[in-house]
């Protein structure tokens, strides 16, 4: 009984905070909404992306955690993603590019500030490239664990919270995989090299943000 009341309080907090963020993001040109669960997040993705569409998915743990790759394929969509283990290195490089040209670009975000700024960091730069510009529709999905107070906290999150597990996932060994936090390294295997601050939805495309009352991604 006590455990369920703790969970209920957490859900209510995220719902209230989610409403604040929806107002901030809407004021900055994003089509924003809050949903309580990852199942509802996937349903919203399905509402936006029509059956049979092409969908580019860059490196995003959140998108895999909501089950979007399998779910979109089951709806007849062509999912383009470079994490496909069957790809050769050459095919993988081509797929990184093809993801950017799909009709829909579906991604997570490393941080979202209370005033509606999205902050992301990349090693290759492919993901932030597709976030910054595209002729397609972009959909960001963000667990409430990604919310930060302001830009400074968001940038710190990309380095101290998002990058260390991402480097571990990629079998890289920059110092943060040993310390658990960023030391602003110059290591050959530095996993964070390109930082993107989206202060507004960019011009020329529709940008959706789906906030989720769950702990998702890095």
Using CB atoms within 10 Å of the CB of residue 42, give its burial: 0 to 12 exposed, 13 to 18 middle, 19+ buried: buried
Name the H helices within the chain: 2-27, 38-48, 61-65, 68-74, 89-101, 126-132, 151-157, 163-169, 176-179
- In the complex, least distance from residue 195 CB atom to ligand SF4, rounded to whole angstroms: 10
Four-point Cα dihedral 139, 171, 111, 89, nearest 10 = -30
Size of the site for ligand SF4 (CB under 6 A): 14
| Residue (48 or 156) nearer to ligand SF4, CB | 156
118, containing H or E segment: strand 118-122
- In the complex, least distance from residue 209 CB atom to ligand SF4, rounded to whole angstroms: 25
- In the complex, least distance from residue 176 CB atom to ligand SF4, rounded to whole angstroms: 3
| Residue (57 or 154) nearer to ligand SF4, CB | 154
Site string for ligand SF4, 27-56 (x = CB under 6 A): ------------------------------
| Of residues 134-153, those binding ligand SF4 (CB under 6 A) | none
| Of residues 160-199, those binding ligand SF4 (CB under 6 A) | 163, 167, 174-176, 182-185, 187, 190-192
| Residue (3 or 186) nearer to ligand SF4, CB | 186
State yes or no: residue 64 binds ligand SF4 (CB under 6 A). no
Backbone region of residue 169 per phi and psi (left: phi > 0; alpha: psi in -120 to 50; beta: other values): alpha
- In the complex, least distance from residue 144 CB atom to ligand SF4, rounded to whole angstroms: 23
| Residue (114 or 185) nearer to ligand SF4, CB | 185
The tokens of 38 are what? 């990852």
| Residue (81 or 159) nearer to ligand SF4, CB | 159
| Residue (94 or 179) nearer to ligand SF4, CB | 179
The tokens of 134 are what? 């595209």
Ordered strands of the 111-113 beta sheet: 147-148, 111-113, 118-122, 194-198
Q: In angstroms, rounded to a whole number, what is the distance separating the alpha carbons of residues 7 and 17?
A: 15
Residues that bind ligand SF4 (CB under 6 A): 159, 163, 167, 174-176, 182-185, 187, 190-192
């Amino acid at each position: 009984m006590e455990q369920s009341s703790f969970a209920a309080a957490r859900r209510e907090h995220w719902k209230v905070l989610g409403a604040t963020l929806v107002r901030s993001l809407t004021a900055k040109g994003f089509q924003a909404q809050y949903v309580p669960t990852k199942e509802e997040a996937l349903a919203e993705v399905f509402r936006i992306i029509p059956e049979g569409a092409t969908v580019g998915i860059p490196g995003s743990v959140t998108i895999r955690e909501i089950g979007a790759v399998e779910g979109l394929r089951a709806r007849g969509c062509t999912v383009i993603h470079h994490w496909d283990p069957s790809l050769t290195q050459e095919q993988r490089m081509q797929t990184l590019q093809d993801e950017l040209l799909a009709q829909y670009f579906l991604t997570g975000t490393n941080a979202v500030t209370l005033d509606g700024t999205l902050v992301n960091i990349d090693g290759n730069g492919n993901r932030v490239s597709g976030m910054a510009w595209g002729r397609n529709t972009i959909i960001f999905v963000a667990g409430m664990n990604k919310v930060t107070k302001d830009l400074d906290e968001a940038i710190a999150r990309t380095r101290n919270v998002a990058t260390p597990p991402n480097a571990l996932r990629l079998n890289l060994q920059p110092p943060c995989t040993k310390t658990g936090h960023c030391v602003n390294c110059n290591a050959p295997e530095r996993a964070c090299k390109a930082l993107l601050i989206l202060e507004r939805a960019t011009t020329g495309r529709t940008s959706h943000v789906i906030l989720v009352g769950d702990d998702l991604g890095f």
